[in-house]
């Protein structure tokens, strides 16, 4: 049935995920939802030096928030920080250099961050789509290390800090691609069979949806959400999906349009009136499964995913320096 799921997802995407889909959906948006002052609130955005992460960080900075940019590349990150400060006039922009594919680095960063800062909102935006199977220095498949384990460690390590905050939120940027994947806990690092980077990425994004649902059950004082930004014209799309980009470039959303729901989930009072743990697109909750797609997982598989990630996480925490 994979051909069916892929076809349904692509046709659905042609209608909803493009710039035209955003423009249609935005007619029902209430501009006042995001016309808010968030001075005094602290936001951490991963992967914030370009694309949706930078666009979201910039809009939060415009509204007076203190923004922590977590980026891998120091040079590009410094350029992004300078751009955000210049365009918004907000000086409360801080830069942290962390490789989200390196779990030991994430632990070290999170432990230090908790001792020095407060945090109201965590935005898990960093991600990668590596089209050939690559291993990190820790022997982890790179997509899994960044998209799933990195997101898991960053979030769980900062939950104690978020628990202390008023109106705490965690937003994770997923993808509609996850709709074609059923959770597969038997091969988390894609070591068996042919390697398809696009499908590995989609599996990671399905895992992020499951993580969000599980976290929402476990941490009632924090509002968790996961979202699909639509198909946006970002550097990541251009480099990781060049064929897709060439075919769709005239219909892709802008980075700001892709980041709109991230901003809404991060700052709007309306967002937290909805239950924690939902999957959003264009400021509204949407289903996490296509009709007849057979992508539902038994609860024990979802619980097992959390157990496996916790085991990975603790393994790297135990050898974390500092």
E strands, 54-112, are 66-71, 93-97
Q: Round to whole Å and give the CA distance between 161 and 110.
A: 10
Q: Round to whole Å and give the CA distance between 271 and 59.
A: 17
Q: pTM for the complete prediction?
A: 0.93
pLDDT for the residue numbered 1? 43
pLDDT for the residue numbered 6? 54
Total residue length of the chain: 322
pLDDT for the residue numbered 271? 98
Known catalytic residues are 201
**Domain 3-315 in this protein, CATH class:** alpha beta
pLDDT for the residue numbered 296? 95
Q: Give tens-digit pLDDT for 250-292.
A: 778 998 999 999 999 999 999 999 999 999 999 999 999 988 8
Residue spans of the domains in the chain: they are: 3-315
Q: Give tens-digit pLDDT for 191-239.
A: 998 999 999 999 999 999 999 999 999 999 999 999 999 876 566 666 6
Residues of the chain with pLDDT below 70 are: 1-14, 232-241, 244-246, 248-249, 318-322
Mention every residue, 6+ apart, whose C-beta is less than 8 A from residue 125. Answer: 45, 46, 47, 48, 51, 52, 53, 56, 173, 262
CA distances from 315 to 103, 176, 277, 281 (A): 9, 31, 27, 35
Q: What is the DSSP string of 197-222?
A: HHHHHHHHHHHHHHHHHHHHHH-TTE
Return phi, psi of residue 297, to 5°.
-115, 150
pLDDT for the residue numbered 251? 74
């Amino acid at each position: 049935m994979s051909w069916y799921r892929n076809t349904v997802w692509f046709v659905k995407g042609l209608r909803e995920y493009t710039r035209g889909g955003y423009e249609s959906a935005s007619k029902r948006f209430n501009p006042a939802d995001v016309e808010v002052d968030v001075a005094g609130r602290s936001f951490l955005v991963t992967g914030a030096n370009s694309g949706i992460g930078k666009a979201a960080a910039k809009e939060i900075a415009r509204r007076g928030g203190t923004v922590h940019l977590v980026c891998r590349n120091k040079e590009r990150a410094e350029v992004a920080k300078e751009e955000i400060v210049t365009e918004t006039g907000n000086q409360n922009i801080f830069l942290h250099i962390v490789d989200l594919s390196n779990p030991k680095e994430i632990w070290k960063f999170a432990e230090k961050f908790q001792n020095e800062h407060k945090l109201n909102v965590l935005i898990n935006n960093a991600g990668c789509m590596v089209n050939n199977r690559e291993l990190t220095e820790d022997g982890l498949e790179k997509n899994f290390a960044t998209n799933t384990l990195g997101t898991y460690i960053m979030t769980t390590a900062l939950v104690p800090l978020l628990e202390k905050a008023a109106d705490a939120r965690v937003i994770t940027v997923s993808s509609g691609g996850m709709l074609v994947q059923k959770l597969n806990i038997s091969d988390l690092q894609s070591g068996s069979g042919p390697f398809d980077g696009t499908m590995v990425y989609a599996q990671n994004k399905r895992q992020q949806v499951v993580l969000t649902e599980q976290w929402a059950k476990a941490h009632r004082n924090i509002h968790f959400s996961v979202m699909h930004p639509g198909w946006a014209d970002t550097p990541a799309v251009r480099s990781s999906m060049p064929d897709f980009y060439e075919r769709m470039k005239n219909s892709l959303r802008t980075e700001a349009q892709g980041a709109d729901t991230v901003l809404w989930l991060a700052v709007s009072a309306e967002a937290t009136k909805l239950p924690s743990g939902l999957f959003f697109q264009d400021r509204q909750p949407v289903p996490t499964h296509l009709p007849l797609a057979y992508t539902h997982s038994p609860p024990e598989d979802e619980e097992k995913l959390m157990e496996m990630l916790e085991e990975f996480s603790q393994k790297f925490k135990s050898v974390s320096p500092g």
